Amino acid sequence: MSDLLVVEDLTVTFPTARGPVDVVRSVSFTLGRDETLGIVGESGSGKSMTSLAVMGLLPKGARASGSVRLDGVELLGRPDRELRRLRGDRMSMIFQDPLSSLNPYYTVGLQIEEVYRAHRGGSGKDARKVAIAALQQVGLPDPERRVDYYPHQFSGGQRQRVMIAMALVCSPELLIADEPTTALDVTVQAQILGLLAGLRKDSGMGLVFITHDLAVISSIATRVLVMRQGEQVEYATAEQVFAEPRHDYTRMLLDSIPRIDDPLDEGVTA
Amino acid sequence: MTLLRATGLTKRFAARGPLGVKAEFTAVDRVSFDVGPGETLAVVGESGSGKSTTARMIAKLMDPTEGSLEFDGEDVTRAKGAALARFRAGVQVVFQDPFSSLNPRHTVERILTAPLVYQGIAPNGSRRAHAKELMERVGLNPDHSLRYPAQFSGGQAQRIGIARALAVNPKLVICDEAVSALDVSVQAQVIELLRRLQRESGFSFVFIAHDLAVVRQIAHRVAVMSKGRIVELGDTAQVFGDPRDEYTRTLLAAVPRINPEWDRRRRERVQA
Amino acid sequence: MARYLAGRAAGVVVILLLVCLFTFVIFFTLSPDPAVMICGKTCTPERIHQIRDALGLNEPFLTQFFSFLIGIFAGRDYGEGANLVHCAAPCLGYSFQTNQSVWDMVVERLPVSATVAIGAAVLWLLVGIAAGLVSAVKEGTWWDRAAMGLALGGSSVPNYVLALALQYVLVVQLQVLPFPQAVAFGDDPVVWFQSYLMPWVVLAAGYACLYARLTRANVIDTLAENFMRTARAKGLSPVLTMRRHALRPALTPIATIFGMDFAALLGGALITETVFGLNGVGKMAADSIAKNDQPVIMAVTLLAAFFVVVGNVVVDLVYTALDPRVRITAR
């Protein structure tokens, strides 16, 4: 069986007043089914642009070159009309800020139902049942009632659960999570990480998890891609990256993160 | 010896309904602590814990509904005029977002000398020399004193914010999520800078943060807040090593950690 | 919700009473004696006193004020004996100039102003929102620049200039339209339409320019929202993405602005009505101010205030219905 996602030599170029700028340069990785790849990097590393390029969601004017294959099928260069059929159905994405990522004017039920109906058709009644089941699956209490709530009536963690329900309603093979826990409190973050890991395992989908937080990556990813200023620095199993980092930048990052289990004086030294 | 003492600080917000129906919300509920000279007290908590409201009250950017605040032996709860000016000269704040808290139209030199002008203090030597000296202390190139905030990176801009706080030689610096917005590599440098400055100048910190790992690196004592109250207050080693409160334990357990086995192997390799 | 509405209604009444009082004070203290104006040049002090008596102007201020208020709700009597005239509620008094009942004048002219306002509103909403939408979607193209340039220029052309220019070109030079006439819709729909066409266009032009720019700005802001990226990530069709996810958030603020603009227009489009000789509330206001016809001025002021204040409440209610985030607090 082939790999689920193969990215080869991906380059993303933005036009600027001073000529084109590459925000992602020659990035390559593969993601197997039933696997979690962590993409880690600081701000400006190009980690979000990489994921948007995979989804075909790059901002206007940006160009992607190289190759992105989902289940052996090339995605780059395909018209949006065709990519649209894959998005939300075979590949989904969740984002950092669940409040602004949900439309405040519609109930969460409608926002989940519309994904299902766009890809599977069917009656409104069916879609509603599916939406309630999806909310149940992500552990939202009282889904029959909450399906008619508006996004602002949920807490931050619940909103991210709604986003996850929306992303998974068509049982995609690939889920891309772009900093999904960064805006959340640490206790809520732990719950969402647990939920994502559990759902991924149950469904056997591939997960790409993007974050700036190495500790989070360590707890969820099997393979890790370290990015810096648009370039791929290190790509290896999580164990290799954390126990035997080969690149100076990775080592520097690992040295920089403050450790909660370290007393004051063994901590950061510059 | 106590520099700052908060006693029973309480902040209630009144929310008005359409018909003037009042609903009260207690953001901070009878919070008490003190900060000694040269000490760093961290106030940690999740969103809605009341830590930012507490920070605003002790910085006197907001009046408490109840309770009192003492600074340097003086009751400043309702301080006005000259007493408030003395307080402002002694207490400075560093905010989370360096860019929105620095005037984009002013040069670094002007930003750094403004606190002196407001406080009516004459700098040692010329203003330019004073600004350059401050920039050097926080690890910025003093030749850049005529640049504008937008010409600096996030970490450098936060250093400007710190330098501005130091301009009046404060006794207490309140850091409200001062390193939260920074990338880890930059964050580590700024934490180290804050620790060095404290060693050099001996001022106190009140460090408001949600990141427990950061707090562990910088605090002498920690106050854990939840739902407006301090649920645990103690030495850093005790709070992290032997937490007494159930909520503190939950909070500490939730912090993601690098696989300790991997981390140990990496350190052994580094030492080898 | 019922309590909320009751509260708002009470607010409306209080504000209208204050407007009444304020207008009354201004006329009582500042304007020339209407009795002198009515009496004319050959006038004796006794005659003035008589007229003042008949108009109720010899009473103390507060008595006059309350008589006016009572008149609105219960009707009132003017004069005494053989000269007694009963003015049924809602009584706004009689015009000093024509002796017509002010209420009757309002009832007669309000439909004209409403016709002007409604027609113009339909026109400016259609043109303004459509132009703004297209501009937003085609942001930065020649169409966008041309439309927004026109909108900017258009909103700086004064009403009366446009009115006179249109009249000159269409009526005088090209003779494609007749000069506006007071014709009821039932009598001659074609002439009715032709008569109102120019006022509609003139009144709508400025608003259309403004609404085009507002719509464009709102739609562009909405397109940049994170939830639009989510909609694309969900694989929704561009039409559904635009119609459902972009339009409602972008147009909701415009609905509230529209409510206020429209309410203000119901109180009379002073310049447009005057230029085209339409007998609406606006022209009535202009005429009464020119002749210092106090009861009429009072009436048009109150009417305008009424529409604005009630319009405000309606806008708030509509906003509550349109934006679920506001709904909770209104409960």
Q: Do C329 and B19 touch (CB under 8 A)?
A: no
CA angle B242, B244, B246 (to 5 degrees): 115
Q: Do C330 and B18 touch (CB under 8 A)?
A: yes
Q: Amino acid letter at C142?
A: W
Q: Is C329 on the interface with B (CB under 8 A)?
A: yes
Closest by alpha carbon to B207, among B196, C246, B195, B199?
Answer: B195
Domain A5-259 sits in CATH at 3.40.50.300
Q: Is C230 on the interface with A (CB under 8 A)?
A: yes
Q: Report the alpha-carbon distance of residue C199 to residue C163 in Å, rounded.
A: 8
Q: Average pLDDT of A193-212?
A: 95
Q: Do B187 and A245 touch (CB under 8 A)?
A: no
Q: Average pLDDT of A37-65?
A: 93
- Residue given tokens 């909310």 in the structure block: A135
Same domain, C158 and C300: yes
Q: Tell me how crowded residue C97 is: count the other CB atoms within 10 A of its CB.
A: 16
Average pLDDT value over all residues in chain A: 92
Q: What domain range includes position C69?
A: 2-87
Q: Give the pLDDT band (50/70/90) at residue A268.
A: very low
Same domain, C21 and C114: no
Q: Is B23 on the interface with C (CB under 8 A)?
A: no
Q: Is C234 on the interface with A (CB under 8 A)?
A: yes
Domain assignment present for C128: yes
Identify the pLDDT of residue A270.
34
For testing contact with chain A, the best of C139, C225, C229, C230 (most A CBs within 10 A): C230
Instruction: Sketch the domain layout of chain A as residue ranges.
Output: 5-259
Mind telling me how many Å the CA of A254 is from chain B's nearest CA?
9
Q: Do C7 and B17 touch (CB under 8 A)?
A: no
Closest by alpha carbon to C258, among C327, C201, C314, C218?
Answer: C314
Same domain, C64 and C194: no
Asked whether the whole model's pTM tops 0.90, one would answer no
Please say if the pLDDT value at position B1 is more than 90. Answer: no
| C-alpha B195: how far from chain center | 13
Domain assignment present for C97: no
Chain length of chain B = 272
Q: Do B188 and A257 touch (CB under 8 A)?
A: yes
For testing contact with chain B, the best of C1, C3, C313, C319 (most B CBs within 10 A): C3
CA angle B10, B15, B17 (to 5 degrees): 160
Q: Which two tokens stand for residue A256?
A: 């920089």
Q: Is A99 on the interface with B (CB under 8 A)?
A: no
Q: Is C243 on the interface with A (CB under 8 A)?
A: no
DSSP C155: T
Closest by alpha carbon to B64, among B109, B31, B36, B40?
Answer: B31
Per the DSSP assignment, residues forming a β-bridge with A228 are A231
> Within chain A, what is the greatest distance between any pair of CA atoms?
63
- Helices C189-223 and C142-154 pack at an angle, to 10 degrees, of 120
Identify the pLDDT of residue A269.
38
Contacts of A among chains (3+ CB pairs under 8 A)? B, C
Q: Do B262 and A242 touch (CB under 8 A)?
A: yes
Mind telling me how many Å the CA of B59 is from chain A's nearest CA?
25
Which residues of chain C make contact with B18, given a CB cutoff of 8 A?
Answer: 3-4, 7, 329-330
Report which secondary-structure segment, H or E, holds A31.
Answer: strand A19-31
Point out the least confidently predicted range of A185-194, B106-115, B234-243, C80-89. Answer: C80-89
Label the pairing between strands B4-16 and B22-35: antiparallel
How many Å from the N-terminal Cα to the C-terminal Cα in chain B?
46
Identify the pLDDT of residue C331.
38
Same domain, C136 and C236: yes
For testing contact with chain A, the best of C137, C218, C234, C319 (most A CBs within 10 A): C234
Q: Is C224 on the interface with A (CB under 8 A)?
A: no
Residue of C nearest to B20 (CA): C7
Contact B204, B172 (CB under 8 A): yes
DSSP C83: G
Closest by alpha carbon to A148, among A134, A163, A128?
Answer: A128
Same domain, C271 and C178: yes
Contact A38, A221 (CB under 8 A): yes
Identify the pLDDT of residue A266.
42
Q: Is A180 on the interface with B (CB under 8 A)?
A: no
Q: Is C330 on the interface with A (CB under 8 A)?
A: no
Domain assignment present for C213: yes
Which residues contact residue B38 at a Cβ distance below 8 angstroms, ignoring those fewer than 6 apart?
B198, B202, B203, B204
How many Å from the N-terminal Cα to the C-terminal Cα in chain A?
48
B2-21 tens-digit pLDDT: 999 999 999 998 866 555 55
Identify the pLDDT of residue C80.
67
Q: Could you tell me the CA-to-CA distances from C310 to B33, C152, C207, C307 in Å, in that order?
A: 53, 31, 21, 5
Question: How many contacts, defined by CB atoms under 8 Å, are there between A and C?
Answer: 74
Which comes out higher in pLDDT, residue B175 or A2?
Answer: B175
For testing contact with chain A, the best of B187, B251, B257 (most A CBs within 10 A): B257
Q: Do C226 and A166 touch (CB under 8 A)?
A: no
Per the DSSP assignment, residues forming a β-bridge with A19 are A16
- Residue given tokens 């640490």 in the structure block: A186
Burial class (CB in 10 A: 0-12, 13-18, 19+), B196: middle
Nearest-CB residue to A190 (from B185, B214, B254): B254
Specify the 3-state DSSP secondary structure of A10.
strand
Nearest-CB residue to A256 (from B185, B250, B263): B185
Residue of A nearest to C234 (CA): A88
Q: What is the DSSP string of A54-122?
A: HHT-PPTT-EEEEEEEETTEE-TT--HHHHHHHBTTTEEEE-S-HHHHS-TTS-HHHHHHHHHHHHH--
Mind telling me how many Å the CA of B241 is from chain A's nearest CA?
8
Q: Report the alpha-carbon distance of residue C86 to residue C76 in Å, rounded.
A: 6
Q: What is the DSSP string of chain B?
A: --SEEEEEEEEEEEEE-TTS-EEEEEEEEEEEEEE-TT-EEEEE--TTSSHHHHHHHHTTSS--SEEEEEETTEE-TT--HHHHHHHHHHEEEE-S-TTTTS-TTS-HHHHHHHHHHHHTPPPSS-HHHHHHHHHHHTT--GGGTTS-GGGS-HHHHHHHHHHHHHTT--SEEEEESTTTTS-HHHHHHHHHHHHHHHHHH--EEEEEES-HHHHHHH-SEEEEEETTEEEEEEEHHHHHHS--SHHHHHHHHHS----HHHHHHHHHHHH-
Contact B122, B113 (CB under 8 A): no
Which residues of chain B make contact with C329, given a CB cutoff of 8 A?
Answer: 17-18
Q: Which two tokens stand for residue B42?
A: 């961290």
Contacts of C among chains (3+ CB pairs under 8 A)? A, B
Q: Average pLDDT of B85-91?
A: 92
Domain assignment present for C93: no
Q: Which two tokens stand for residue A179?
A: 């900093």
Same domain, C30 and C171: no
Identify the pLDDT of residue B151.
93
Which domains does chain B carry?
4-266 (3.40.50.300)
Q: Could you tell me the CA-to-CA distances from B235 to A3, A263, C23, C99 in Å, in that order?
A: 51, 12, 70, 89
Q: Amino acid letter at C184?
A: A
Mark which of C55, C87, C119 sits at the end of a domain. C87
Q: Is C3 on the interface with B (CB under 8 A)?
A: yes
Mind telling me how many Å the CA of B14 is from chain C's nearest CA?
14
Same domain, C190 and C287: yes
Average pLDDT value over all residues in chain B: 91
Nearest-CB residue to C245 (from A97, A103, A166): A103
Contact A214, B258 (CB under 8 A): yes
Q: Report the alpha-carbon distance of residue C293 to residue C93 in Å, rounded.
A: 11
Q: Do A152 and C324 touch (CB under 8 A)?
A: yes
Q: Average pLDDT of B238-244?
A: 95
Mind telling me how many Å the CA of B20 is from chain C's nearest CA?
10
> Within chain B, what is the greatest distance between any pair of CA atoms?
72
Q: Average pLDDT of A3-10?
A: 96
Please say if the pLDDT value at position A151 is more than 80. Answer: yes
Q: Average pLDDT of A219-223?
A: 94
Contacts of B among chains (3+ CB pairs under 8 A)? A, C
Same domain, C148 and C209: yes
Domain assignment present for C185: yes
Q: Average pLDDT of A89-98?
A: 95
Specify the 3-state DSSP secondary structure of C42.
coil
Burial class (CB in 10 A: 0-12, 13-18, 19+), C307: buried
Alpha-carbon Rg for chain B, nearest whole angstrom, is: 20
Nearest-CB residue to A242 (from B214, B251, B263): B263
Domain assignment present for C92: no
B155-200 tens-digit pLDDT: 999 999 999 999 989 999 999 999 988 898 899 999 999 999 999 9
Q: Do C7 and B18 touch (CB under 8 A)?
A: yes
Point out the least confidently predicted range of B28-37, B58-67, B93-102, C21-30. Answer: C21-30
pLDDT in tens, chain C (331 residues): 777 788 888 988 899 889 888 888 887 777 677 777 777 777 788 888 877 777 777 778 888 888 888 888 888 887 666 767 788 878 888 888 888 888 999 999 999 999 999 999 999 999 999 999 999 999 889 999 999 999 998 888 888 888 888 888 888 888 888 777 777 777 888 888 888 888 999 999 999 999 999 999 999 999 999 999 999 999 999 999 999 999 999 999 999 999 999 998 988 888 888 888 888 899 999 998 888 888 888 889 889 999 999 999 999 888 888 888 876 544 3
Q: Do B269 and A244 touch (CB under 8 A)?
A: yes
Mark which of C87, C122, C155 sits at the end of a domain. C87
Q: Do C229 and A97 touch (CB under 8 A)?
A: no
Which residues of chain B make contact with C7, given a CB cutoff of 8 A?
Answer: 18-19
Same domain, C233 and C322: yes
Q: Do C3 and B19 touch (CB under 8 A)?
A: yes
For testing contact with chain C, the best of A92, A101, A117, A175 (most C CBs within 10 A): A101
Same domain, C9 and C111: no
Q: Give the pLDDT band (50/70/90) at residue A153.
A: very high
Mark which of C44, C63, C87 sits at the end of a domain. C87
Q: What is the DSSP string of C180-202?
A: P----TTT-HHHHHHHHHHHHHH
Q: Is C330 on the interface with B (CB under 8 A)?
A: yes
Q: Do C330 and B19 touch (CB under 8 A)?
A: no
CA angle A159, A163, A165 (to 5 degrees): 110
Nearest-CB residue to A186 (from B154, B184, B255): B255
State the complex-level ipTM: 0.92
Domain assignment present for C96: no
Q: Do A57 and C248 touch (CB under 8 A)?
A: no
Same domain, C128 and C277: yes
Q: How many domains does chain C have?
A: 2
Domain assignment present for C274: yes
Q: Do A212 and B184 touch (CB under 8 A)?
A: yes
